[in-house]
Structure 1
Amino acid sequence: MNEWFTIDNVEHLAEQYKRLGPFIGVLFPMLEAFLPFLPLVVFVVANASAFGLWLGFLLSWLGTVIGSYLVFLLVRRFGHHPRLKRLTGGERVQSLIRWVDMRGLSPLFVLLCFPFTPSVLVNIVAGLSNIRKKFYFIVLAAGKFVMIFSMSFLGYDLRALLTSPVKMILAAVAIIVLWALGKLLENQLNKRVLRDLQDTDSSKK
């Protein structure tokens, strides 16, 4: 395994990926929006390494925005269908929908900026809320811009990353920090959701 994972082999894979064309660079991040178990960070790094920082970033950003917005539109159109109640009728989802309707777009933008927050949940909640389509698209595009660019910047120069222990350590630290901040933000928002909803319910009594 270690013999295979060399700089030359990784660059060869990036070159093969590039030969598949820009369409693949858009397609894979778009599919991740529907299949969240797919590794978005791998697709973003592959795009940045194969097509360069700016074009690779653009392809990844377009793909994830298109895919996420399609999920949002599908949920907006079919989310209240009885057969989808198991997906959309959970207590957590319903609480988040109520809270988003109360608080607006700002919390969604913050969540979308972090690569390790559950963006598929954000898209579902937004689709079931009363947020207007054009406003969510703007917030989605802006949040994903921040997220995808940070990931592209970390991974666009694989040779420099793999040959420099300092850069590799810094990249690993950056990923860990982003993950930790994302989890902290998610936990804080969950607590805030519960507190705000409890306060709202109490005021109605």
Structure 2
Amino acid sequence: MDFEMLKEWFTMENIMKLINEYRSFGPLPGILLPMLEAFFPFLPLVLFVMANASAFGLWLGFLFSWMGACVGALLVFLFFRRFGQQKILQFLHRHPSVEKLMKWVEHHGFGPIFLLLCFPFTPSAVVNIVAGLSNVSIGQYLLAVVAGKMVMIFTISFVGYDLNALVTQPVRTIIVTFIIFLLWYVGKRIEVRLNKSVKREHSGG
């Protein structure tokens, strides 16, 4: 199975089948899927969260997705914090964009990490790696991850826990579509502002 076929396999139907097939393991599949996304960013976190909410209910689905996403993000952060100085990963430090973002995150701490992780359309894997390579404290990072992922995952869970309502209740569909668009738009605007701030501070320095 090549990469494209693997990506095509991840549909809502297949993920639901996977979760139901391993129901005997309790919440483990619901926690592991979002956790794996932190290591393999091409995996569809939005679909995992929606499937969890549909399979386990709104609150349990949200809890399992939130736990998995936070644990995965923390493991990626700790990996790059521990091994980021090794020769094999030194090229990351030399990348101009990574270097600028690292300095900006170190200077501002909690704020940018929290904001970026609130939105499902920003590259959270990059945020985790950069935070791990930077000197931001583990406490600041953990607080930002727990809070940011909570906002993002609850929003997606709310959309996914009753997918039938999206068809049978057109008003709900319009509201959900608007919320998704708003999250995407605000996330992109924040990303643009962060990039401008990084460039401005870098040129000023």
Q: TM-score, normalised by structure 1?
A: 0.87
The CA distance in 1 between the partners of 2:92 and 2:33, in whole Å, is 24
CA contact (8 A) 2:70 2:146 kept: yes
SS at match of 1:114: coil
CA contact (8 A) 1:109 1:140 kept: yes
Matches within 5 A, 1:18-167: 18-21=20-23, 22-167=27-172
The CA distance in 2 between the partners of 1:46 and 1:155, in whole Å, is 7
Q: Which moved more, 1:84-93 or 1:11-20?
A: 11-20
CA contact (8 A) 1:155 1:161 kept: no
Q: Which moved more, 1:100-109 or 1:69-78?
A: 100-109
The CA distance in 1 between the partners of 2:115 and 2:51, in whole Å, is 25
**Inter-CA distance 160–103: structure 2 relative to 1 (3 Å threshold):** same
Q: Where does residue 4 of structure 1 map in the other structure?
A: none
CA contact (8 A) 1:15 1:50 kept: no
The CA distance in 2 between the partners of 1:77 and 1:198, in whole Å, is 30
CA contact (8 A) 2:104 2:198 kept: yes
**Inter-CA distance 16–119: structure 2 relative to 1 (3 Å threshold):** closer
The CA distance in 1 between the partners of 2:18 and 2:188, in whole Å, is 35
Post-superposition shift, 1:123? 0.5
Q: Where does residue 182 of structure 1 map in the other structure?
A: 187
| Unmatched runs of 5 consecutive residues or more in structure 2 | 1-11
Q: Where does residue 6 of structure 2 map in the other structure?
A: none
Matches within 5 A, 1:185-200: 185-199=190-204
Q: TM-score, normalised by structure 2?
A: 0.87
| Unmatched runs of 5 consecutive residues or more in structure 1 | 1-9
Question: Structure 1 segments of 4 or more deviating over 6 A?
Answer: 10-13
Which residue identity does 1:156 align to in structure 2?
Y
The CA distance in 2 between the partners of 1:62 and 1:89, in whole Å, is 33
Post-superposition shift, 1:17? 2.6
The CA distance in 2 between the partners of 1:80 and 1:92, in whole Å, is 17
Aligned-CA RMSD value: 1.9
Post-superposition shift, 1:18? 3.7
The CA distance in 2 between the partners of 1:37 and 1:16, in whole Å, is 18
Matches within 5 A, 1:163-174: 163-174=168-179
Post-superposition shift, 1:138? 1.6
Calculate percent identity across the aligned residue pairs.
Answer: 53
The CA distance in 1 between the partners of 2:135 and 2:92, in whole Å, is 18
Q: Deviations over 1:135-190 (max 9, x none)?
A: 21122111111110111111111121222222222222211221111111101110
The CA distance in 1 between the partners of 2:88 and 2:14, in whole Å, is 46
CA contact (8 A) 2:109 2:140 kept: no
Post-superposition shift, 1:14? 4.0
Q: Where does residue 7 of structure 1 map in the other structure?
A: none
The CA distance in 1 between the partners of 2:141 and 2:98, in whole Å, is 17
